Structure 1
Amino acid sequence: MIWGGVVTLIILAFLPVPLFTTNLSFMFYMMLWLTMATSFNFVAGMAGYMPFGYVAFYGIGAYATGVLYKTFGLPIPIALAGAAAAGVAIGLLLAPTLRLKGVYFGIVSLALAMAMKLIISLMPAKITGGSLGLILSGANDPTMAYYAMFIVLLGALAAGTWLSMSRLGIALRAIRDDREAAEVVGVNVVRTRLKAWVMATMFPSLVGGVEAWYTNAIDLESSFNLLVTAKSIVYAMAGGLGFLVGPIVGASALYGIDQLIWRHFPTLNLLILGVVIIALMLLLPRGIVGAFAQRFSRFRRFIP
């Protein structure tokens, strides 16, 4: 009931925005971070992995969209589908690393992000644009890009809903809480985590592709900026990993605070935001939703 209300509120908040204003930037990037934090929760909150190189899939999605549209002349919808396929393909190549535990997987995923950035930089400039990147001339349509991000967000919310209610979600939480016990009762740990991992790689790839369409510009530094990973982690953790509503609360609150600080203190933005994040982690180590569930345990079963 509560989760249905949250999703309805999200739809009502974002769907009509282009009807009232042409300045879509704030709400577009709010949806971007809601999607990134939600999909990150699939693998970190439910599967117990912490991919420090999560930006790799965002960057791959951006460049796959740009190359398919600009270099090969494919329409944007097909380019975005290609972006999702590219992200999943790279995720499947990483499947053997799912056997790693704890920080080792995080280090490998971070190395992947660096490797992908290097590989793209070494590709022929006529394909990836070289150091200048790609300009998607002729694709400019902010309103359609906005609604594309809206659809991606709804897809991530739907995937999260299904995952939390399915047998797969139960198996993932069992693995997260006690891997050895899950194996004893017959859960295939690697295969189960792989399913969540594939879902978690597809959505950031789509986000990267849609953001490239929205800005019409792609370059290595912004596409593989480690702040993308950092913000995805912080936003999801601030709300509460493992809860469906956690990343929604965390991303909404911190992105709003980030924009407010940027507007009033542009030169001190990162410093003040860092202090806010540190205070939040110290005071609410389980996140906003996690702290509420712990403090009011009788309401825990109502929190999605």
Structure 2
Amino acid sequence: MNYKLLGKSDLQVSEISFGCMSLGDDDKAGKALLHKALDQGINFFDTADLYQNGQNEALVGNAFKGMRDKVVLATKVGNQMRLDGNGWDWNPTKAYILQAVEKSLKRLQTDYIDLYQLHGGTLEDPIDETIEAFEMLQQQGKIRYYGISSIRPNVIREYVQRSKLVSVMMQYSLLDRRPEEESLALLQENGVGVLARGSYAQGLLLGKSPKPYLGYSGGQVTAAAAAVAEVAGQERSEAEVAARFVLHHPAITSAVVGIRTQKQLQEAIQVAAADDLTEEQVQKLRSALQANTYEQHR
């Protein structure tokens, strides 16, 4: 397993990380999966207070009780569950963040969160207030670092200019190359680590039945999947190629992979052990279809 520093932090995170959102309701099976991932070298685990209304955090916290120094825990904030349990509302205010972090700390059974991320964001948010909350929690030692989870270039620019964030989590894959337009270069120039999610494009790059995706037609999706399969050949899996395409970009620190089963975990470990793609292979993939661009939030 390769490890990289996340942005300007001192967090050494595994190149393949565990997206905990995919974990099911079986706590025993989930705990075993998390332990096996750690044993295999994955040390970065990403959850959120929104997932399963906090139960996902509780599962992660229970799994790593007594092992806190061996894992890098990341969670997210900003989606406030309604009192009736019917959905949630966006709330990036300082007051809410300071309240929500206490509940996350309790569920995670820890005194501190390694990476606390805003779970979204818009230009209409009280951005300075949100940053102030993160800075306060950092000073109090309740979080070590903070970042945002956002695909919006205009929001990302604001946080790069106005805060000390160390990371941005964003969707990036062969079928979603929008971050290449400007965000990846901006983040790399400013020493902000990128956590890439969606490397497999909902399984469309792994042979799942094609469908229109982010402006691409079903035929274009098929062409991208065919290019992945061609590069994979007999020596690699499609998962290795899809994830290694993402990791090839120098701005990417880690690919966050959703893992729910032992098979998916093994697949992720194989990706971590796989060789890098060659420049020729990357160009073959890139030429399979024209890169898409952002239509909004530019």
Using the size of structure 2 for normalisation, the TM-score is 0.26
Bigger RCO (CA 8 Å, 6+ sep): 1
| Higher-helix-fraction structure | 1
TM score, norm. by length of structure 1: 0.26
